[in-house]
Amino acid sequence: MSDVKQLTAAQRADLRTVAAMIVPESAEYRVPGADDPAIQADMLATLGRDTALAAQALDHLAQLAGKPLAELDEARRDAVAQEFRKHGGAAAATLVRVVLQCYYRDDRVLRSLGLELRAPFPKGHVLPEGDWSLLDPVRERGGTLRRAT
């Protein structure tokens, strides 16, 4: 695998385009698309060990498209995307995962989902006790452990 340290301008442009194809903006849910500048900046800043595979995926995408993804008409872009996802292997999966992991930690997105904007620690969560009487039928049925003697 090549020792890629960062994405090229062309790769970044295609990343924006494909990210918006995966998760578009929605007025209904009041959320940005994954091409939102802040979410894109998060992706680029935290790409880290995924850079090489993401670059490989974007090169594959560029090869399928033959030109910048944004310049394709919608039907052609969708066809390219389908081909990319079907045959892109680990590199495509990595690229999609990078998009989703940055999208689903954005404050606006979490707020729309009704989730708190915080790390799990130190506040944690409260878990309801649940109905322990549901165990009564299990107790009533009983049972024995199998033994050799």
List the alpha helices (DSSP H) in 28-88: 37-46, 51-65, 74-87
Please count the helices (runs of H) and the strands (runs of E) in the chain: 7, 0
- β-partners of residue 124 are none
CB of 71 to other proteins, least distance (A): 19
Q: Which is nearer to other proteins, 5 or 141 (CB)?
A: 141
We find the least distance from the C-beta atom of residue 105 to other proteins, in angstroms, to be: 6
Q: Which are the contacts of 35, defined by CB distance < 8 A and separation ≥ 6?
A: 16, 17, 19, 20, 25
Q: Which is nearer to other proteins, 67 or 147 (CB)?
A: 147
CB 11 within 8 A of CB 55: yes
Least distance (Å) between residue 11 CB and other proteins:
19
For other proteins, the closer CB: 32 or 62: 32
Closer to other proteins at the Cβ: 9 or 127?
127
**Do 84 and 61 meet the contact criterion of CB atoms below 8 Å apart?**
yes
The residues that touch other proteins, with contacts defined as CB under 8 A, are 21-24, 26, 28-29, 31, 46, 48-50, 81, 85, 93, 96-97, 100-105, 110, 113, 115, 117-132, 134-135, 137-139, 141-148
